[in-house]
Chains A and B, each alone.
Chain A
Amino acid sequence: MNNLLIQIKFAWHNLKKKPSFVSSVIITMGLTLGALLCVLTLAYVILFKPLPYPDAERLFRVDSTVNVEQRKPLEGLYSYPGLMGLYQRQDVFSTSAVVINSNDVESSLAHTPAMKVSFAMPEFFPMMGARYAIGRGFEQTEAIDSFNPVTVISYKTWKNEFDLRQDILSQSVTFSGVTYRIIGVLAESFAEPAISYIGYESDAWLTWDYNFRRDLRDNWAALISGYILVGKLQPSISHQQAEQKLSMLLNETWQQNTTSHPHFKNSQTSVTLTSLKDIILSDSQSMIYLLLIGIVGLVVIACANVTNLFMSRTAEKKQQLAIFAALGAKKSHLFTTLFAESLLLMSLSIMLAMGIALGGFELIHRFFTAIFPRVTELSLNGFMLIAAIVIALSLAFIFARISSNMINYRALNTALQSGGKGTQVQVSKRVRQILIVSQVAIATVLILVNTSLFREAAITMTQPLGFNTENSYSLGLSYSGRPRPPAEQVQPIINELINQLAEQPEVQMATQSNPPFNAREDATFTLVGHEDPIVTSANMIGNDYFSLLEQPLLQGREFTKTDLQAKAQVVVINAELAAQISAINPNTEVLNSQIYFGKIPITIIGIVQNAQLPWHKTVQGKFNLPMREGSTGFLIKLHPKQHLSRERIGELLKKIDPKWTVWDYVNLHDLHLQYLFPQIIMASTTGALALLTLLLAAVGLYGILSYSTQMRKTEIATRLAIGAKRNAIFKLMVKDNVGAISLGIILGIIILLGLFIGFSEVLQEYLSYYLILMFAITLAMISIVALGAAYLPLRQYFSKPISTLLRGE
């Protein structure tokens, strides 16, 4: 140990004289190990770290399914009374709670922020082991039917909206006209379980009795989504037993209350239990593994690069090692000398890597909360520290071992006599070839996979929408009060707001409409004489919608104010859907023909040019219905270079009816970007990985070929002396390495084929002729890099007099 410390000190001294070698190793390993540590920690948190909730393995979510004869099962839907009955009468859970998420506007704060609120029962917080920065959670005095309006706010809300003020428990918040007294603030460390969807973080928790669906408490026929029943299973009851019992319980009450309902004749309900771990893990497991494979590939390339650097360094240290041997150093002593240097370098690399990983956590917190679960739990933890130490020690050992294997200990003492020439310390051609093959193979795989994914994302990002989002905004309103007025009372307020908006000098046009990105994906209709329903996407839009968005009308007309006021049974479809209808009914003119919603006939009054929604790969059929009376969505188009603030709209609205507030007001271009977010993340991640791979492969190949050229300096000089031109030497270097590079590419293709065979179902959609193009691009990139790596080390020899090369200078 003492010897190692002395050697480390000596290594530090030596390395100070080699700044380029040190920086090459530390930057290469630091960057890639940083990415590895970041993804490893993410994988650990998501896949292996126990959930931060007491008895987490016994926590389950209960999902119901309603099976109606001859219809698709209705999954994830509950009737309000059915759910309440299940919650109150179940005996399989030691504790359970119902939660529902919603969005609302906080109307007591001056800037009326939009917030994510969750209505919950008191059992929820103790079940999740919640701790509080201040105050407490819900108690039995706030249980169901207590009508006690109190709230527990998140730490983030306390910080952002109340500046962490200490008298927070004397404050209140107001949502939809109900004022909730703040009774507690959740601890900063509380990780809200992603029981509804990944990345959902409630800003405020409200008592259950004020949930917005309570008006359905006696309605068995209204099935609605979004309810979450979670419970902690009794230790004595198995998962299957619980499912059976709960299914029976729910079905019993369901049957009793829906037998007379025509829609639910002979229907049955059942429940499934899914563990909290599986819900939270969702389908992120495969994504994590893919990311891990990508990063490990990068680390392998980086290790190959650094192995080469270490080997060159050992060759350079030959004289020094020979002196040690002459003074009596055994092979093990020489290993310690090499290990000290690699340990020092790996320690420095891993320190940089940890810094990079922490930076990576910040990026993940910022951009990936909707993609990966539990990212709020990412931080410097024991796992990361242990992983860092193990990685640093292992790599230090491996690099030292490879370096020491290069030393021909028996021949080492002759190095002192032969003036630095000889074979005492040399990297064999075979090792160099293996390094080239491995680098090229991994680079081929990573570059092809990443460029293919990048292309997919880039196509979606750059495809034209088919309508103009410039200067256009989507506006949504929220009502502060209970109950919300009926549609016929809301509509005059909406009309007045449209009039007032139209009078603003900044506004070119305003209409009552959903934004173009609002689309129901599973709307169905039928055609006359055809029973099979056509499934397509649908939206509800206002008059002048297509004019506002500059989406060209191909035939017919768009909706008028009269259509909306008269609740006309009309529809405007896109060209794609018109083509589909034409294919089914070739002899019928699509315009002015009728389609059926159930038994209601609706006339097609217009055909509009196709628009491409960001989440669809190809154009889908779409129909547009007139906006319903009382719907509170608007589209506003401003004159070029004009700005209309949210506050200004809020003021207009306040004058019309102070109970209405602006819920959201967003530029359509920004909204488009929000929808493109997964593609942007995909494109930036894959693009960065492809570039990094190419860069690392370039640096690695350069290093290996540079070393190889160095070893052949005398040969190159001799060839030049006897009349070889520069071109001939370049060709020689290419020829000598083309075998290894080709072998690397072939190995890469084999790995890719293996991947395609192994994951054919997942990768099916990526198989296309474009893959050949991407492969050609990948080959071109690798070839350019390889040619560059072969040429650059030769440049120094071409610029020096051959006589100096022959002297070995």
Chain B
Amino acid sequence: MDNIKISMKNICKVFETDELETHALDQINLSITQGDYVAISGPSGCGKSTLLSLMGLLDEASSGEYLLDGIDVTKLSLDHAAELRNQKIGFIFQSFNLIDEMTVFDNIALPLSYHNKPPSKQAITERVNQCLALVGLSNRSQHKPNQLSGGQQQRVAIARALVANPSILLVDEPTGNLDSKTGDQIMEVLAQLNEQGTTICMVTHDPRYAAMAKSRINLLDGKIS
């Protein structure tokens, strides 16, 4: 039980507009344990990204129960959700979402600055350098993101996701903006991280990359098929 990082029971997500009610997710039940590497796949519009957003506390479920690292996170204040995202979740986005005005080092250090008690400058430097080494970019710490290739930018994003020692990495189409060779390299990095014990949940529509995960969840029309 202690090893369960994510537990979702009967999770539903309904998007409502004036005229329309869209059931994006319907009665989702899943659990992800420590060291898992889960791939969520399915056709476009099946609810993959919505599910990842709920997992990452970027959005709230319409109903159901969600436990993150044993904490009930079904209903949270905005600031409490921010705290949990900061401590327990590492995000990797399709479009990297690095901040162009900041150096690679500062981008990676950013989550640490949002800690309730930010670490010392020295501790930050050590941890950022560790993460940079992990993704093989130690020599790029003072570059700006736009001076790097797409693959390098995604590595920076991975380093940023890892910097706060999260319980789980949530990865959204990590290769979507990369060529196949670079995509393969990024997937390799993720596989290595998982081998070292990092729990990963990845959304992808590419069956080849989905196959690299230890377990797969297929979504169809908002339901696990």
Could you list 16 examples of A-B contacts with CB < 8 Å? Answer: A718-B93, A718-B99, A720-B82, A721-B58, A721-B93, A722-B86, A722-B110, A722-B114, A723-B87, A723-B115, A725-B79, A725-B83, A801-B59, A802-B58, A803-B49, A804-B59
A378 at the interface (CB under 8 A from B): no
- What residues of chain A lie closer than 8 Å to B53, measured between beta carbons? 801-803
Instruction: Give chain B's interface residues, CB within 8 Å of chain A.
Output: 49-50, 53, 56, 58-60, 78-79, 82-83, 85-87, 89, 91, 93, 97-99, 110-111, 114-115, 160, 164
In Å, the complex CA distance between A718 and B100 comes to 12
Q: Are A801 and B58 in contact (CB under 8 A)?
A: yes
Q: Are B79 and A803 in contact (CB under 8 A)?
A: no
Q: Are A721 and B60 in contact (CB under 8 A)?
A: no
Q: Which residue of A lies closest to B52 (CB)?
A: A803
In Å, the complex CA distance between A79 and B99 comes to 87
- What residues of chain B lie closer than 8 Å to A722, measured between beta carbons? 85-86, 91, 110-111, 114, 160
Give the 4 A-B CB pairs with smallest separation, nearest first: A723-B86, A803-B53, A801-B59, A803-B58
- What residues of chain A lie closer than 8 Å to B114, measured between beta carbons? 719, 722-725, 728
Q: Which residue of A lies closest to B98 (CB)?
A: A718
Q: Which residue of B lies closest to A718 (CB)?
A: B97
Q: Are B85 and A721 in contact (CB under 8 A)?
A: yes
A726 at the interface (CB under 8 A from B): yes
Q: Are B93 and A723 in contact (CB under 8 A)?
A: no
In Å, the complex CA distance between A714 and B58 comes to 14
Least distance between B178 CB and chain A CB atoms (Å): 17
Q: Which residue of B lies closest to A717 (CB)?
A: B97
Least distance between B172 CB and chain A CB atoms (Å): 9
Partner of B110, one of A714, A719, A725, A802: A719
Q: Are B82 and A723 in contact (CB under 8 A)?
A: yes
Identify which of B50, B53, B56, B82 gathers the most chain A CB atoms within 10 Å of its CB.
B82
* Per-residue B-contact encoding for A789-804, CB less than 8 Å = 1, 0 else: 0000000001001111
Q: Are B78 and A798 in contact (CB under 8 A)?
A: yes
A806 at the interface (CB under 8 A from B): yes
Q: Are B58 and A806 in contact (CB under 8 A)?
A: yes
- What residues of chain B lie closer than 8 Å to A724, measured between beta carbons? 82, 86, 114
- What residues of chain B lie closer than 8 Å to A727, measured between beta carbons? 79
- What residues of chain A lie closer than 8 Å to B111, measured between beta carbons? 722-723
In Å, the complex CA distance between A546 and B56 comes to 82
Identify which of A720, A726, A801, A806 gathers the most chain B CB atoms within 10 Å of its CB.
A806
Q: Which residue of A lies closest to B49 (CB)?
A: A803
Q: Which residue of B lies closest to A728 (CB)?
A: B114
Identify which of A720, A721, A804 gathers the most chain B CB atoms within 10 Å of its CB.
A721
Identify which of A715, A724, A798, A803 gathers the most chain B CB atoms within 10 Å of its CB.
A803
| A726-B97 contact, Cβ under 8 Å, with A801-B53, A803-B49, A803-B50 | no
Q: Which residue of A lies closest to B53 (CB)?
A: A803
- What residues of chain A lie closer than 8 Å to B91, measured between beta carbons? 721-722
In Å, the complex CA distance between A720 and B84 comes to 11
Least distance between B205 CB and chain A CB atoms (Å): 16
- What residues of chain A lie closer than 8 Å to B86, measured between beta carbons? 722-724
- What residues of chain A lie closer than 8 Å to B115, measured between beta carbons? 723
In Å, the complex CA distance between A723 and B56 comes to 10
- What residues of chain A lie closer than 8 Å to B50, measured between beta carbons? 803
Q: Are A725 and B97 in contact (CB under 8 A)?
A: no
Q: Are B79 and A726 in contact (CB under 8 A)?
A: yes
Least distance between A356 CB and chain B CB atoms (Å): 40
In Å, the complex CA distance between A806 and B94 comes to 11
> Which A residues, 718 to 760, have Cβ-Cβ distances below 8 Å to chain B?
718-728
Least distance between A711 CB and chain B CB atoms (Å): 11
- What residues of chain A lie closer than 8 Å to B56, measured between beta carbons? 721, 803
Chain A interface residue bracket vs B: 20 to 34
- What residues of chain B lie closer than 8 Å to A806, measured between beta carbons? 58, 93, 97
- What residues of chain B lie closer than 8 Å to A718, measured between beta carbons? 93, 97-99
Q: Which residue of B lies closest to A800 (CB)?
A: B59
In Å, the complex CA distance between A721 and B57 comes to 8
Least distance between B102 CB and chain A CB atoms (Å): 9
Least distance between A654 CB and chain B CB atoms (Å): 78
- What residues of chain A lie closer than 8 Å to B98, measured between beta carbons? 718
Least distance between A235 CB and chain B CB atoms (Å): 74
- What residues of chain A lie closer than 8 Å to B160, measured between beta carbons? 722
In Å, the complex CA distance between A728 and B87 comes to 16
Least distance between A718 CB and chain B CB atoms (Å): 4
Q: Which residue of B lies closest to A807 (CB)?
A: B49
In Å, the complex CA distance between A717 and B89 comes to 15
In Å, the complex CA distance between A723 and B79 comes to 9
Q: Are B82 and A715 in contact (CB under 8 A)?
A: no
- What residues of chain A lie closer than 8 Å to B87, measured between beta carbons? 723
| A723-B83 contact, Cβ under 8 Å, with A802-B58, A802-B59, A803-B58 | yes
In Å, the complex CA distance between A720 and B93 comes to 13
- What residues of chain A lie closer than 8 Å to B83, measured between beta carbons? 723, 725
In Å, the complex CA distance between A727 and B79 comes to 9
- What residues of chain B lie closer than 8 Å to A714, measured between beta carbons? 97
Q: Which residue of B lies closest to A721 (CB)?
A: B91
Q: Are B85 and A723 in contact (CB under 8 A)?
A: yes
* Per-residue B-contact encoding for A90-121, CB less than 8 Å = 1, 0 else: 00000000000000000000000000000000
Q: Which residue of B lies closest to A715 (CB)?
A: B99
- What residues of chain A lie closer than 8 Å to B164, measured between beta carbons? 723
19 extra interface residue pairs, beta carbon distance < 8 Å, beyond A715-B97, A723-B87, A803-B50 = A717-B97, A718-B97, A719-B114, A721-B58, A721-B91, A722-B86, A722-B91, A722-B110, A722-B114, A723-B85, A723-B86, A724-B82, A725-B78, A725-B79, A801-B53, A801-B58, A801-B59, A802-B58, A803-B59
- What residues of chain B lie closer than 8 Å to A720, measured between beta carbons? 82
Q: Which residue of B lies closest to A808 (CB)?
A: B95
Q: Which residue of B lies closest to A801 (CB)?
A: B59
In Å, the complex CA distance between A149 and B98 comes to 94
Least distance between B41 CB and chain A CB atoms (Å): 19
- What residues of chain A lie closer than 8 Å to B82, measured between beta carbons? 720, 723-726
In Å, the complex CA distance between A555 and B86 comes to 80
Identify which of A720, A727, A798 gathers the most chain B CB atoms within 10 Å of its CB.
A720
In Å, the complex CA distance between A783 and B49 comes to 41
> Which A residues, 699 to 723, have Cβ-Cβ distances below 8 Å to chain B?
714-715, 717-723
Q: Which residue of B lies closest to A719 (CB)?
A: B110
Identify which of A717, A719, A721, A723 gathers the most chain B CB atoms within 10 Å of its CB.
A723
In Å, the complex CA distance between A798 and B78 comes to 8
In Å, the complex CA distance between A721 and B82 comes to 7
Q: Are A726 and B58 in contact (CB under 8 A)?
A: no
In Å, the complex CA distance between A803 and B85 comes to 13
Least distance between B54 CB and chain A CB atoms (Å): 8
In Å, the complex CA distance between A726 and B79 comes to 7
Q: Which residue of A lies closest to B111 (CB)?
A: A722
In Å, the complex CA distance between A722 and B49 comes to 17
- What residues of chain A lie closer than 8 Å to B59, measured between beta carbons? 801-804
In Å, the complex CA distance between A718 and B93 comes to 9
> Which A residues, 769 to 809, have Cβ-Cβ distances below 8 Å to chain B?
798, 801-804, 806
In Å, the complex CA distance between A803 and B24 comes to 14
Q: Which residue of A lies closest to B164 (CB)?
A: A723
Least distance between B50 CB and chain A CB atoms (Å): 7
In Å, the complex CA distance between A804 and B60 comes to 12
- What residues of chain B lie closer than 8 Å to A798, measured between beta carbons? 78
Q: Which residue of A lies closest to B50 (CB)?
A: A803
In Å, the complex CA distance between A725 and B115 comes to 10
* Per-residue B-contact encoding for A159-191, CB less than 8 Å = 1, 0 else: 000000000000000000000000000000000
In Å, the complex CA distance between A719 and B93 comes to 13
Least distance between A374 CB and chain B CB atoms (Å): 57
Q: Which residue of A lies closest to B110 (CB)?
A: A722
> Which A residues, 371 to 429, have Cβ-Cβ distances below 8 Å to chain B?
none
Q: Which residue of A lies closest to B163 (CB)?
A: A722
- What residues of chain B lie closer than 8 Å to A802, measured between beta carbons? 53, 58-59
- What residues of chain A lie closer than 8 Å to B78, measured between beta carbons? 725-726, 798
Identify which of B50, B111, B115 gathers the most chain A CB atoms within 10 Å of its CB.
B111
In Å, the complex CA distance between A806 and B59 comes to 11
Q: Which residue of A lies closest to B116 (CB)?
A: A725
- What residues of chain A lie closer than 8 Å to B49, measured between beta carbons? 803
